[in-house]
Amino acid sequence: MSNPGTNKVDFHVRDDGIAIVTLDHYPVNTLTNAVQLGIEDSCERISKDKSIKGVVVCGAGTRALCAGADIQDLNKKHERYPKKAFMESFEQLQVPVVAAMQGFSLGGGFELCLGCHYRVIASNGFLGLPEVNIGLLPGGQGTQRLPRLIGAQPAMDLMLSGAHVSAKKALGWKVVDKVVNPNDLLDASIALAKEMSVKNPTNAGRRISELPGPKVDQTLLDRTTSLMNTKRRGESAPQKIIQCVGAACTMPFKQGCAEEQRLFKQLVGSREANALQHIFFAERAAGKIAGLKAKPKPIKKVGIVGAGLMGGGIGMCFANTGIAVVFIDQQQKFLDKGLSVVKGHYARSVKRGSKTQAAVDAALALMSGSVDYSSLSDVDLVIEAVFEDMKVKKEIFAKLDKVCKPGCILASNTSYLSIDKIASATSRPGDVIGMHFFSPANVMKLLENVRGAKSSDTTIATAMAVATKIGKVAVLAGNCHGFIANRMFGQYLGEANEMLQEGSDLVTIDSVAEEFGLPVGPFRLSDLTGLTVGFERRKRLGLVFPDKNIKDWLVENGRLGMKTSKGFFDYTPERKRIENKEVNNQIMKIRANCGITQRKIDNQEIFERLLFPIINEGFKILEEGFADKPSDIDVALCLGYNWPRVTGGPMWYADTMDGGLEKLLAALTRMSNLFPDKKHFKPSNLLVECVQSNMPLAKFWAKNGQRFKVSGKSKL
């Protein structure tokens, strides 16, 4: 079993002549330089020992054979390096080598397996080449071996998605030779090594490097390139992976490997790779809260108040992981409708093949509904998911305070409202916390856990653990209006509307945002989310002016967004946007009604007015103590608003963009002078301090961040 601190390869030879090579680097046997040297030393011993009939390669523990390269170890200097690639060390042995694939075999770990002559995988195992997700390509001959083994198309699918492939699918692709019970993995691998030592002692036909490159139509490569330009816009790694696959199809193996290395070196240390690696590690660091030592409570049953779209999606998250869910709503018809929508989601999942019917049936069996709050008397956690009305939420929490057992955690899914005010309706504010899911809750990965002034450490620890349990990435936020993600994007749509009135146009503004890497611009985003909610809010306040506000005019003319196939734009059934002449004419009329003289706004101004206030707000959130660290903000924006991961998130981008923080400060200062009434352009004091200290935010925060932390106590 692997233990903390281990960094080696164990080697021993059984009495039957089978050598066992065990990678042992806690916790997931990554390929450090020391482990690679251990592999090389083991292979040299095997090649000299004529009594060895076969080899089994495995990993210590049960979590992984090998989870790939150790990224941090890659940048270290070592006294000694391997003479050859580790997968070649195994492949060139003259006895059968079997990879025993338990848990995960990822990246370089999977490439190691491709260097073995045979592969046996546990039925609960997964494999994959996820390097594209950190801005790299598989640099251990994976781009040359995998296409030769399974063909160009499936190889590209696996490498360009970065996804984990199940044992069953791997067997179907003939990536592995056998799928066995996890408890039988080592024995089955030993048996195969012994069998092949008799049937095929020279490993004829089992060295992938000797297989011919697959045939491929250039149109497939071109089509895949075009798809990646859309799907992974701004990323270089996907294009270089496609080039490598092209090399595997047209070049001898060694020449293809040289091309792989040439392209790999272009990516290592690039701005893109550094940014993607930053966000990769930031997601894993988000759940680690400094000073939080409390143990989480076990959560076996959850209550959801509100069976609407959000409540139903939240319920699915829990039921999917085996946690019982009871929905509460005012009337039975609302419960019936909510459960019907949930069943529809599950039915579509089965149709797509992303879930089995058995898994869906098991999840639905864990769901129940009631109109009686007393049904929540035995739940461990209850999440309120009703509309944003403080009075309603306080009434609900007062009821929960009465019916829920002592120690039950009371959470609100509010997007903006004060957790402290909600908690004041109860006699146990220490048990109250915000758990802000993003819509659709069963899809979006982000969960903002919002601590109030009196939220206990146990409550916070439990909310963070719950996120991990249900497959979310949790960021801990302080109790301010909009928390992190919504607060930061608060001025985004407003600035877009103002620039539209000042003289720009819908397509140009959207295009600037989309060229930066956001999936949709502000006006397509408005159409996507729908225009009615904001309209109804303005209507209640008596602030509807269709002759001066384009959004009000759109709603009053039945242009409600994508759900009606028309909003700011018209939409085809494929959701392709088309400009509408009547909308553009109305924008001109509104300018005249408001007495605005149209002016030309260049793309740089659009870019800065859309995006720099978002970054500035991130600095203010840190300055006010409502986020634990800059990287948490990067995670919240990348997962909550699809900020382009290739930039590393807004705070990382501010540090690393051309001109850095000095450029950001200069632009905000200029805009603040031009628009003195707009507080979102006023530079954050933290930003000013970073520039004055001549430090990027990451370095400044590491040195000084502690003095900005206020333990989640709202200053509002």
pLDDT, position 713:
43
Label residue 81 by pLDDT band (50, 70, 90): confident
pLDDT, position 325:
99
Question: 1-10, 476-485, 695-704: which range is least confident on average?
Answer: 1-10
Q: What are phi and psi of 239, to 5 degrees?
A: -65, -35
Question: Where do the structural domains in the chain lie, given as residue ranges?
Answer: 8-267, 301-479, 504-593, 605-708
pLDDT of 710 > 70? The answer is no
> Tell me: the pLDDT tens digits for 514-565?
999 999 999 999 999 899 988 888 898 899 999 999 999 999 999 999 999 9
pLDDT of 223 > 80? The answer is yes
3-state class (DSSP) for residue 260: helix
Omega within 30 of 0 (cis) for the link into 212 = no
d(CA 170, CA 186): 19
Active site residue 415: yes
Q: How far is CA 138 from CA 116, 274, 279, 313, in A?
A: 17, 16, 19, 36
Label residue 85 by pLDDT band (50, 70, 90): confident
Domain at 8-267: CATH code? 3.90.226.10
pLDDT, position 716:
30
Domain at 301-479: CATH code? 3.40.50.720
Choosing from 260, 448, 495, 605, which is the catalytic residue? 448
Q: Which residues contact 515 (CB under 8 A, 6 or more apart)?
A: none
Residue range 560-585: average pLDDT? Answer: 96
Is the distance from CB of 646 to CB of 135 less than 8 angstroms? yes
For residue 180 the two structure tokens come to 């066995």
Active site residue 448: yes
pLDDT, position 152:
97
Amino acid at 639: L
For the chain, the average pLDDT equals 95
Active site residue 124: no
Is the distance from CB of 35 to CB of 9 less than 8 angstroms? yes
Residue range 664-672: average pLDDT? Answer: 98
Choosing from 111, 436, 449, 504, which is the catalytic residue? 436
Q: What percent of the chain has pLDDT over 70?
A: 98
Choosing from 133, 203, 415, 449, which is the catalytic residue? 415
pLDDT of 711 > 50? The answer is no
- What is 605-708's CATH topology? N-(1-d-carboxylethyl)-l-norvaline Dehydrogenase; domain 2 (1.10.1040)
Label residue 714 by pLDDT band (50, 70, 90): very low
Omega within 30 of 0 (cis) for the link into 298 = no
pLDDT, position 707:
79
Question: 99-103, 230-234, 324-328: which range is least confident on average?
Answer: 230-234
d(CA 86, CA 97): 13
Label residue 153 by pLDDT band (50, 70, 90): very high
- Higher pLDDT: 87 or 261? It is 261
Active site residue 486: yes
d(CA 587, CA 596): 11
> Tell me: the pLDDT tens digits for 633-664?
999 999 999 999 999 999 999 999 999 999 99
pLDDT of 364 > 80? The answer is yes
d(CA 97, CA 57): 7
Domains 8-267 and 301-479 share a fold: no
pLDDT, position 4:
62
> For the domain with range 504-593, which CATH number is right: 3.40.50.880, 3.40.1710.10, 1.10.1040.50, 1.20.1260.10?
1.10.1040.50
- From the list 41, 57, 43, 30, the residue with the least C-alpha distance to 120 is 57
Label residue 712 by pLDDT band (50, 70, 90): very low
Residue range 616-636: average pLDDT? Answer: 97
pLDDT, position 709:
65
Let me know if 416 is exposed, middle or buried by CB neighbors in 10 A (0-12, 13-18, 19+). Answer: middle
Label residue 5 by pLDDT band (50, 70, 90): low
> Tell me: the pLDDT tens digits for 303-336?
999 999 999 999 999 999 999 999 999 999 999 9
pLDDT of 289 > 60? The answer is yes
Model confidence, pTM: 0.92
For residue 38 the two structure tokens come to 């251990």
Choosing from 486, 526, 631, 714, which is the catalytic residue? 486
Label residue 73 by pLDDT band (50, 70, 90): confident
Q: How far is CA 652 from CA 231, 279, 502, 518, 635, in A?
A: 22, 9, 31, 16, 10
